[in-house]
């Protein structure tokens, strides 16, 4: 059984795993969000495997918590904070978080190194091309890093791994910042969301 939480906005619902940081999808209803999450298990599995973990082939999803969304939810990014996020982070949990984040970064970097520079546009001609997407991910991670107490390090990723690799009591890692569990989920989700977008939009024959 894989426990998930649902984050409810006015027009969007986010279904996210509490055990597998970054495995989460948006939809317009709870049922659709859960279905999308289940469908993306096959895309998340290689990340888990690369991190050294066994991802269940057909996980049964159980809703453990429901939390309210925010303007960030409506924008398309997970912003809910289930009670599970406040649980202490042991050395084993911290290692799990960092291994999955490293695997996500490796997958994103590997794919973006070979992806076409120009990506297929969305239905209204929108969407970043490859280099702008890479830049967006890097810029976002600099902003995310500040939410866990990191300020202008020489290497953002190394600093993030150092912080998320520590044990914690489950509270925010800095004043008005994020907990380690939320940070892991947000970092990994953002990398994978753009990895999968880049994969989907690399097919230039797909049309608009």
pLDDT tens sequence across 55-73: 998 889 999 999 999 999 9
Torsion sign, CA atoms 126, 71, 6, 186? positive
Pair of tokens at residue 36: 């999308």
With bands split at pLDDT 50, 70 and 90, how would you rate the model's confidence at 207? Answer: very low
The whole-number average pLDDT for the span 148-175 is 97
pLDDT at 204 > cutoff 70? no
pLDDT at 144 > cutoff 60? yes
Per-residue pLDDT tens digits for 73-121: 999 999 999 999 999 999 999 999 999 999 999 999 999 999 999 999 8
If you average pLDDT over every residue of the chain, what do you get? Answer: 95
pLDDT at 208 > cutoff 50? no
Q: In the chain, pLDDT over 70 holds for what percent of residues?
A: 96
**DSSP-derived 3-state class of residue 12:** coil
| Residue 20 burial (CB count, 10 A) | 24
Q: Residues near 168 by Cβ (< 8 Å), separated by ≥ 6?
A: 88, 89, 94, 179, 180
């Amino acid at each position: 059984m894989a426990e998930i939480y649902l984050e409810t906005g006015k027009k969007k619902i986010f279904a996210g795993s509490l055990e597998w940081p970054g495995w989460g999808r948006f939809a317009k209803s709870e049922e659709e969000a859960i279905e999308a999450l289940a469908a993306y298990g096959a895309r998340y599995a290689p990340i888990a495997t690369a991190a050294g973990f066994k991802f269940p082939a057909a996980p049964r999803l159980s809703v453990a918590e429901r939390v309210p969304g925010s303007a960030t939810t409506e924008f398309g990014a997970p912003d809910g904070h289930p009670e599970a996020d406040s649980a202490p982070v042991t050395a084993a949990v911290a290692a799990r978080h960092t291994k999955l984040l490293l695997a996500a970064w490796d997958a994103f970097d590997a794919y973006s190194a070979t992806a076409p520079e120009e990506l297929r546009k969305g239905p209204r001609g929108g969407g970043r091309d490859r280099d702008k997407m890479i830049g967006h991910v890097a810029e976002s991670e600099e902003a995310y890093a500040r939410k866990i107490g990191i300020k202008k390090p020489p290497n953002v990723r190394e600093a993030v791994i150092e912080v998320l690799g520590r044990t914690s009591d489950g509270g925010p890692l800095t004043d008005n910042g994020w907990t380690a569990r939320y940070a892991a989920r947000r970092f990994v989700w953002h990398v994978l969301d753009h990895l999968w977008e880049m994969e989907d939009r690399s097919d230039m024959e797909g049309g608009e």
